[in-house]
Amino acid sequence: MPEGSTKDGIGASLRRKEDKRFLTGSGRYTDDITRPGQLHVHFVRSVHAHANIKAIRTDAAEAAEGVVAIYTGEHVAADGIGGPICGWVVTNRDGSPTNEPPHPILANGTVRYVGDHVVAVIAETLEQAMNAAELVEIDYEVLAPVVDLANAASGAQLHENVPNNMYFDFELGDEAAATAALDSAATVVELEVRNNRLIPNAMEPRAALAEYDHIDDAYTLFTTSQNPHLTRLVIGAFMLNIPESKLRVVAPDVGGGFGSKIYVYPEEAVCTWASKKLRRPIRWTADRSESFLADAHGRDHINKIRMGLDKDNRITGLRVDTLANLGAYLGAFSVVTPTILHAPLLSGCYKIPAIYTNVKGMATTTARVDAYRGAGRPEATYLLERVMDTAARQVGMDPAEFRRMNFIPKDAFPYQTPVALQYDIGDYEPPLDKAMEMIDYKGFEARRAEAAGRGKYRGIGLSSYIEACGIAPSAVAGALGARVGLYESATVRVDPTGTVNVFTGAHSHGQGHDTTFAQIVADKLGIGVGSVEIIHGDSDRIPFGMGTYGSRSLAVGGAAIVKAVDKIVDKAKIIAAHLMEAADADVVFADGKFTVAGTDNEKGFGEIALAAYVPHNYPHDRLEPGLEETAFYDPLNFTYPSGTHIAEVEIDPSTGVVDLVDWACCDDFGNLINPMIVEGQVHGGIAQGVGQALLENAHYDETGQLITASYMDYCMPRADDLPNFKVDYTVTACTHNDLGVKGCGEAGAIASPPALINAVIDALAPLGVTDMSMPASPEKVWRAIQSAQAEAAE
Amino acid sequence: MTTVSFSLNGKQVSADVPDNTLLVNFIRETMSMTGTHVGCDTSQCGACVVHVECESVKSCTMLAAAAEGTSVTTIEGIAHDDGLHPMQQAFHENHGLQCGFCTPGMVMAAIELVKENPDPSETEIREGLEGNICRCTGYHNIVKSVQAGARMMGE
């Protein structure tokens, strides 16, 4: 029988159920799985950014010890195997569709970035596959690389059907209104920012293990995926052309994703395809260098911003022109990230009467760029929060007060922005006030003076953000170009003994769903968390799922679980009414007990579960036996988390090193289910944002070689790069899901980069420095100080 | 081929492996003990940290043959019969892990850090774990976990 305690339900910082297996080395990640008779595949990748393949000679490799098969793009084409698809497209300004080039899983005639997959070498052992790969000879005709985003349109054309290397030319907002607002503004603020390219770097490299069962003519693919059902759909229907029912996709424990494991990649499709050709299991695990080269990268925008203010310093208009680098091919969310997930966020938490934006998505000979933690929203927030500080400085206002006077007032909700979104609820001043109090904003000038006495420059920087997450209402997404629905499913199965299994289409790869979802169910059913098991990540066990990204697991997946639990309770009430010979309407369910109102007649949840499966005394005329319900939940709107983050830095002018000395943030995520897990998500998000702002940068040289392709060269945030974070919350509950939750996974990564760069600029502002690009590396900061001092001396 | 024999989590193990087999591959593949992870190929990330003769070693940087005759402990070998090792318990209590991939290396590195310095300051912990990358937690709760683990190990 289930435990009766609910003290670990909604709102409790319950320690995680999944911890024990991870802490004892019992986690089961894809690379931990082996199959008898398995073969290993190693990919020969392009060493050129852009080249035609003239010839591939594999004779020597085929003769090498242990080699079983070698496949090239010709084999792929001969078998009619398709490539990864774009999951969301947009309409161009002129009404034409997005230009979608083909993306073969092994290059067919042309390679378009360093790391592009050319040959798959399959052997008995990984070492044999790698050794044989060395013997593959490829003759290339080298073509001009296209690396510089600003000049990509005039570079060598990458794809036949992508003229001017432009995948799309998107716009949103009212251009005439924005132009008029800027023309008549008392102050016009101009800024150009670069949102640096990042590499997601989940600590678990991507991996795949595919197995074919010739008796059932069916495949099983174990893979590092954030959404196994979409992987099944894409590989089944678009790549291998097999019935979805013949492909089982399992995403077991996954070691972080951050967006990079949403997509279907060529490697896992090659493993699946080859597993049937060779009738042997095929496995592949990326080494870290391959991850750097061939995982989807993130960000990489150039944004030109013009903001107009009236004579009272209220914002009247905003125009943003963006070039987005999408790399060599389009992935699942490549197009939606810089458009639909970016342009509608340009109002931020501010009342801006007129907004217009144009986004051009460009092809370059670099790894493809797709959604990475925050996906479009960090880019929008960065440019907006940078221009807010620039504007405040230009008109001589305190940046906090300039933000405050331009906030959408709390009585203006629901608030319709000029860029498509309608915010259901929010209140932006309380988190600003709280964060300022947490970091002692008022006392900052004294700290600046004290630091100056020690020869250090101290600065403080804010970022007040909003994000749209919990994606999304399917109908809205469809109208905007999505090719999938964005609901989530849940099945709740009550066992005869009253324990509960929850099958969710969301996927946990660090988010703690085993715990958070169990808390919700335990709370709603009045049973102990220990009686609830969460099952995810297996397309054969879960009805369907859209996976985890866009901070949607709780707001969409959690809401689906609540709907299924509600159905369970509704059915159980009828059973209880029958057993207690009462009218349905008189039965009340609370704390795990069904009671006839006004009496002490009661039945426990476990008793009802048993009755459902041993239906000797049962309302057979009204109900089927059993206690299992499925619900699909399609949200009515995005959710809109918001808040303020404040960074404080100290800069050593002799080295240019930025020391991040303090961080305070106050977020409004709506209701919290497990505050401990939420706080962990905030910490991790901030760390990735600090990485972007201070340390990380994916850099291609002019020939298209990725210079930052290892942890020796790509600077990841480490323990000694970061401070402790002060985290707090305000709550305005989401108005359109049953839990009142908004989502918390991306907020830190969205809010933090501009806060940090604003703090660096604030520290250097007394010297006359007004701009700083990401990452604010010691060299850049030192040079900015030197050049400011040289100018001052002139 | 080389015959490699050593004590793994208290049990004597032995296998014939190619001379160039790395310790991490010996543990993961030859011994099928998959708690120790591989997160990079440049000895930077620390996911593969194990103890060789009670000292932290990045097992991707050591040949299995070099462990001949030693005592090797992995994440699977530190829990006691009556429960988790204090450092494992501290990570659990302080939410010092999310996806769990870096966790085995992080816990093994933290245990040795505390053995060397039983009462480490926050700064000493941050510097001591500089060789272990975590992408999920922002390290805040890892630092708290190690502080709590140090207290519990001292009790």
Supply the CATH classification number for the domain B2-77. 3.10.20.30
Whether A531 and A617 share a structural domain = yes
Of A63, A199, A361, A27, nearest to A715 (Cα)? A199
Both tokens assigned to A136: 């593959």
Q: Mean pLDDT score of chain A, rounded to an integer?
A: 96
Quick check: A505 and A557 in contact, CB under 8 A?
Answer: yes
Q: Taking CB atoms and an 8 Å limit, are A24 and B34 in contact across chains?
A: no
Whether A333 and A401 share a structural domain = yes
Q: Taking CB atoms and an 8 Å limit, are B38 and A31 in contact across chains?
A: yes
Distance separating alpha carbons of residues B47 and A486, to the nearest angstrom = 35
- % of chain A at pLDDT higher than 90: 95
Whether A519 and A439 share a structural domain = no
Can you tell me the mean pLDDT for A169-195?
A: 98
Is A3's pLDDT higher than 60? no
Phi and psi at residue A582, in whole multiples of 5°?
-125, 165
Whether A626 and A645 share a structural domain = no
Q: What residues have CB less than 8 Å from A739, skipping those under 6 apart?
A: A10, A520, A554, A555, A558, A559, A562, A670, A671, A673
Quick check: A76 and A104 in contact, CB under 8 A?
Answer: yes
Q: Is there a shared CATH topology between the B2-77 domain and the B86-154 domain?
A: no
Distance separating alpha carbons of residues A742 and A757, to the nearest angstrom = 27
Number of C-beta neighbours around residue A517 at 10 A? 29
Largest CA distance in chain A: 96
| Cα atoms found within 13 Å of the Cα of residue A205, Cβ hemisphere only | 22
Distance between terminal CA atoms of chain A? 82
Residues of B in contact with A748 (CB under 8 A): 138
Domain boundaries, chain B: 2-77, 86-154
Pick from B135, B137, B141, B147 the residue to mutate for testing the A interface (most A CBs within 10 Å): B135
Quick check: A59 and B67 in contact, CB under 8 A?
Answer: no
Quick check: A146 and A159 in contact, CB under 8 A?
Answer: no
pLDDT of the residue at A551: 86
How do residues A252-263 score in pLDDT, each as one tens digit? Answer: 999 999 999 999
pLDDT of the residue at A278: 98
What residue numbers bound the domain in which A734 lies?
298-471+637-793
Q: What single-letter amino acid sits at A564?
A: A
Provide the CATH number for the domain around residue A751. Answer: 3.30.365.10
Is A243's pLDDT higher than 80? yes
ipTM exceeds 0.90, yes or no: yes
Distance separating alpha carbons of residues A212 and A520, to the nearest angstrom = 38
3-class secondary-structure state, position A677: helix
Q: Taking CB atoms and an 8 Å limit, are A27 and B95 in contact across chains?
A: no
Q: Taking CB atoms and an 8 Å limit, are B138 and A18 in contact across chains?
A: no
Task: Choose the closest CB to B130 out of A254, A258, A718.
Answer: A718
pLDDT of the residue at A5: 41
Whether A526 and A611 share a structural domain = yes
Can you tell me the mean pLDDT for B73-89?
A: 94
Whether A612 and A723 share a structural domain = no
Whether A591 and A613 share a structural domain = yes
Report if residue A137 sits inside a domain: yes
Distance separating alpha carbons of residues B50 and B77, to the nearest angstrom = 10
- % of chain A at pLDDT higher than 70: 99
Is A1's pLDDT higher than 50? no
**Chain B nearest C-alpha distance from A211 (Å):** 19
Whether A756 and A616 share a structural domain = no
Both tokens assigned to A629: 């319900």
Is A335's pLDDT higher than 70? yes
pLDDT of the residue at A668: 98
Can you tell me the mean pLDDT for B18-42?
A: 97
Is A4's pLDDT higher than 70? no
Residues of A in contact with B139 (CB under 8 A): 683, 687, 717-719, 722
How do residues A245-304 score in pLDDT, each as one tens digit? Answer: 999 999 999 999 999 999 999 999 999 999 999 999 999 999 999 999 999 999 999 999
How do residues A542-595 score in pLDDT, each as one tens digit? Answer: 989 988 988 889 999 999 999 999 999 999 999 999 999 999 999 999 999 999
Cis peptide leading into residue A414 (ω within 30°)? yes
3-class secondary-structure state, position A520: helix
Task: Choose the closest CB to B97 out of A23, A29, A201.
Answer: A23
How do residues A432-456 score in pLDDT, each as one tens digit? Answer: 999 999 999 999 999 999 999 999 9
Distance separating alpha carbons of residues A614 and A616, to the nearest angstrom = 6
Residues of A in contact with B39 (CB under 8 A): 203-205, 288
Domain-ending residue, one of A143, A160, A176: A143
Report if residue A150 sits inside a domain: no
Task: Choose the closest CB to A711 out of B44, B75, B88.
Answer: B44
Of all residues in chain B, the one with the smallest CA distance to A717 is: B133
Residues of A in contact with B137 (CB under 8 A): 680, 683-684, 687
Residues of B in contact with A19 (CB under 8 A): 91-92, 97, 100
Both tokens assigned to A668: 């409004």
pLDDT of the residue at A794: 81
Distance separating alpha carbons of residues A267 and A129, to the nearest angstrom = 15
pLDDT grade for A471, boundaries at 50, 70 and 90: confident
Distance separating alpha carbons of residues A384 and A189, to the nearest angstrom = 11
DSSP code, position B89: H
Three state DSSP letters for A409-469: CHHHCCEECCCCCEECCCCCHHHHHHHHHHCCHHHHHHHHHHHHHCCCEEEEEEEEEECCE
Q: Taking CB atoms and an 8 Å limit, are B134 and A203 in contact across chains?
A: yes
Domain-ending residue, one of A110, A143, A176: A143
Distance separating alpha carbons of residues A395 and A402, to the nearest angstrom = 9
Characterise A651 by phi-psi region: left (phi > 0), alpha (psi -120 to 50), beta (else): beta
Can you tell me the mean pLDDT for A652-659?
A: 98
Of all residues in chain A, the one with the smallest CA distance to B20 is: A127
Q: Taking CB atoms and an 8 Å limit, are B100 and A18 in contact across chains?
A: yes
Number of domains in chain A: 4
Topology (CATH) of B86-154:
DNA polymerase; domain 1 (1.10.150)
Whether A382 and A435 share a structural domain = yes
Can you tell me the mean pLDDT for A382-399?
A: 98
| Buried b / exposed e along A52-61 (16+ C-beta atoms within 10 A) | ebeebebeeb
| Cα atoms found within 13 Å of the Cα of residue A669, Cβ hemisphere only | 28
Cβ-Cβ pairs closer than 8 A, A with B, add up to 174
Of all residues in chain A, the one with the smallest CA distance to B46 is: A203
How do residues A6-39 score in pLDDT, each as one tens digit? Answer: 478 999 999 999 999 999 999 999 999 999 999 9
Residues of A in contact with B134 (CB under 8 A): 203, 719
Pick from B20, B43, B51, B140 the residue to mutate for testing the A interface (most A CBs within 10 Å): B140
Whether A627 and A647 share a structural domain = no
Can you tell me the mean pLDDT for A496-525?
A: 96
- Going by DSSP bridges, is the β-strand pair A207-213/A282-285 parallel, antiparallel, or unpaired? antiparallel
**Which ranges in B50-139 belong to alpha helices (H)?**
86-93, 103-116, 122-128
How do residues A661-713 score in pLDDT, each as one tens digit? Answer: 999 999 999 999 999 999 999 999 999 999 999 999 999 999 999 999 999 99
pLDDT of the residue at A62: 98
DSSP code, position A88: B
pLDDT of the residue at A394: 98
Q: Taking CB atoms and an 8 Å limit, are B138 and A509 in contact across chains?
A: no
Of all residues in chain B, the one with the smallest CA distance to A203 is: B39
Whether A222 and A105 share a structural domain = no
Residues of A in contact with B41 (CB under 8 A): 287-289, 710
Of all residues in chain B, the one with the smallest CA distance to A200 is: B135
Whether A458 and A494 share a structural domain = no
Domain-ending residue, one of A143, A165, A193: A143
Distance separating alpha carbons of residues B86 and A18, to the nearest angstrom = 18
**Chain B nearest C-alpha distance from A316 (Å):** 38
Residues of A in contact with B35 (CB under 8 A): 24-27
pLDDT of the residue at A710: 97
Number of C-beta neighbours around residue A692 at 10 A? 29
pLDDT grade for A2, boundaries at 50, 70 and 90: very low
Is A479's pLDDT higher than 90? no
User: Rounded to 10 degrees, what is the CA torsion of A290, A294, A296, A298?
Assistant: 70
Distance separating alpha carbons of residues A219 and A550, to the nearest angstrom = 29
Provide the CATH number for the domain around residue A59. Answer: 3.90.1170.50
